[in-house]
Amino acid sequence: MGIFGFGKGKTLYYPGCLTKGVLKEQFENYKEIFNRLGIDFVLLRDDEVCCGLPILNGGYKKDARKLAAKNFDVFRKYGIKRIVTNCPSCYHMFGEVYPSLVRDWDITVEHATGVILNALKRKRIRFKGSDEDRELVAYHDPCHLGRYSGIFEEPREVIEILGGKIFESKYNRENAICCGGGGGVRANFPEIAKAVAKKKSSFIPEHVGKVISPCGLCYANIKSATERSVEFSDFVVRKLRGMR
């Protein structure tokens, strides 16, 4: 209940509904990553509610505005000045939509991939093996993180710093194919969502061992088509644990 802190700052780690409620292993991963890299953060327990993007996408703008105001009141109550989230949809909502929904919105919003990248650079953490030792992986650009928010390079840099070698599909960055799960498709039309995920994964050769995405929904939907699907934090925490 209330606020739970891993540091003295007023940086809130906001995991989003999917990570907090369903992807609990990844929720723990991000907390461990932040702790290992010296990133101070606090958590809101029962006071935390949805960012409101599903409501807004459903056409209920008035309700989304009310929810945004409720969130802002909670954040101000605990003195939150900065939000770090691993959810691309929450990042888009807080960073780009809330300024138009909430009067006096003044909270800095950052995506976890960029925060992790900066911490790795600050601590001068680098992969120490040879190029032959690098792990061949693919990276999936989530719609809300890539085309919506322009974040393409930060997660790729993290993967490379930690020993990954990225195979780039011909459909990447601005031209990336959606995972198929967004916009309520996975919830309402699971077979269509799975078919899109299969199509997407078909562009990645079988010798590429992992398909990494920093979006929980993308990770889950791509996993419906291939066991190679890995959430970003799974890759990062494994690499950090293996470093001496």
Sequence-distant (≥ 6) Cβ neighbours of residue 50 within 8 angstroms: 17, 67
The string of pLDDT tens digits covering residues 125-146 is 999 888 889 999 999 999 999 9
DSSP letters for 56-86: HHTT-HHHHHHHHHHHHHHHHHTT--EEEES
Domain 3-115 matching CATH 3.90.1300.10: the answer reads no
Q: What pLDDT score does 1 carry?
A: 37
Query: How many CB atoms are located within 10 Å of the residue 14 CB?
Result: 25
For residues 73 and 134, what is the distance between their CA atoms, to the nearest angstrom? 46
pTM of the model: 0.93
Handedness of CA 58, 63, 65, 66 (dihedral sign): negative
Eight-state DSSP code of residue 178? P
Domain ranges of the chain: 3-115, 126-242
pLDDT band at 243 (very low <50, low <70, confident <90, very high): confident
Q: What is the mean pLDDT of residues 141-155?
A: 96
Q: What pLDDT score does 113 carry?
A: 98
pLDDT band at 98 (very low <50, low <70, confident <90, very high): very high
- The fraction of the chain above a pLDDT of 70, given in percent, is 96
pLDDT band at 192 (very low <50, low <70, confident <90, very high): very high
Q: Between 130 and 223, where is the model more confident?
A: 223
